[in-house]
Amino acid sequence: MTSEPQPVKSDAIYVYDGTFDGFLTVIFDIYALKRKPVQIVSERLWQPGFFETPIHTITVAVKSERVWNSVVTRSNTQVTRMFYLAFASELTGVEMTLYGYLEKLFADTTGAYYKNMLDDHSFELYRMSRKVSHEIRRFHGFVRFQETSDGLFFAAIEPDHDIVSLLAPHFARRFGNQPWVIYDRRRDKGIFYKKPEIHEITLTDKQFDAITGNIPHNLKSEEEDLYRSLWKAYYKAINIPERKNTRLMLRLLPRRYWKYLPEKQ
């Protein structure tokens, strides 16, 4: 990407399909078309205005790969992971932050830009990625499986960030010999694992309860309700009333995560 001259005009709105590949394709096109963005937005969030004519980017694997390769060769694994995590944050404006970061990274002649945490874009990348890795760590704990009568373990989640596929390695390691599904109900996609396979899935026939994410009674394993109520009883029993500190609890376990936690229902 280095040999290409810097883009000049800064007026374009790029609309892409919301995928990581799509975003990297946008970056490629920015340099190829020599038109700097004022906004990069996924189709899902794009609200057409009267005066703008956005550039609809079509995801092309070859393009995204080229961009990604330049990122990889110009930084290190820590930065590439941060970059990916920041993208998964889906925070408003993340695309422009990442673009700003790449613009500096590609223009850098010192070879050390990616290490400079005093830089605004660098730090923003770090900050956003930390939010996501924090949520990943939380969900290692907050995922709750229900056992179905045919031995599948199903969990519904609604994380702030797009982390469902980032959860897969942990759970594949831990629950290697039980088949499971973790399903992001907000983004309507999930991970299905059955040794040795792992797939991203979208459920067409949704058998679980639309509000609670619970699987229906006839699909539950015989013991499911028993262990669920034992867990709830356990949670109650370990409370120490003398120490009650609701503010702290809410900070550590925000209400928005309660929906799928049996002990909080």
Partner 1 sequence: MDEKIMHKLRILADSAKYDVSCSSSGSGRARASGGLGDAAPLGCCHTFTEDGRCVSLLKVLLTNVCIYDCAYCINRRSNDIPRATMKVTELVDLTMNFYRRNYIEGLFLSSGVIRNPDYTMEALLRVAKALRTENRFGGYIHLKAIPGASRELVHEAGLYADRMSVNIEIPSENNLALLAPEKNFTGVLQPMNQLKVSIEEYRDARKKIKKAPLFVPAGQSTQLIVGASPDNDRQILTLASGFYNEQNLKRVYYSGFIPVNAYDQRLPALRKAPLLREHRLYQADWLMRFYEFKCDEIVNDQHPQLDTDIDPKLAYALRHPYLFPIDLNTADYEMILRVPGIGVQSAKLIVYSRRFGHITLAHLKRMRVALNRAKYFITTRELPAQLTSLQPSLIRRKLQLPPEQQQQYIQLTLF
Contact positions toward partner 1, by CB under 8 A? 112, 115-119, 123, 127, 137-138, 140-147, 153, 155, 170-171, 173-178, 223, 226-231, 233-249, 251-253, 261, 263-264
Half-sphere CA count of 77, side-chain side, radius 13 A: 0
CB of 66 to partner 1, least distance (A): 29
Q: Which is nearer to partner 1, 26 or 155 (CB)?
A: 155
Say how far apart CA 171 and CA 167 lie, in whole Å: 7
The Cα 97–Cα 129 span in angstroms is: 12
Q: And the tokens for 100?
A: 């700003």
Compare residues 72 and 252 and give the one whose CB is closer to partner 1. Answer: 252
Q: Give the shortest CB-215-to-partner 1 separation in angstroms.
A: 12
Taking the complex as a whole, the smallest distance from the CB of residue 38 to partner 1 amounts, in Å, to 25
**One-letter amino acid for residue 92 of the chain:** T
DSSP state letter for 117: T
Rounded distance between C-alpha atoms, residue 16 and residue 44, angstroms: 9
* 117 contact partners, CB below 8 Å, separation of at least 6: 123, 126
Identify which of residues 64 and 148 has a Cβ nearer to partner 1 in the complex. 148
Taking the complex as a whole, the smallest distance from the CB of residue 34 to partner 1 amounts, in Å, to 30
Cβ at position 55, least distance to partner 1 in Å = 33
Structure tokens at 200: 């991203």
Q: By C-beta, is 28 or 183 nearer to partner 1?
A: 183
Closer CB to partner 1, residue 14 or residue 114? 114
Phi first, then psi: give them for residue 30, nearest 5 degrees.
-55, -45
The DSSP bridge partners found for residue 200 are 191
Closer of 72 and 233 to partner 1 (Cβ): 233
Contact (Cβ atoms closer than 8 angstroms) between residue 54 and residue 15: yes
Q: Closest distance between partner 1 and the C-beta of residue 205, in Å?
A: 24
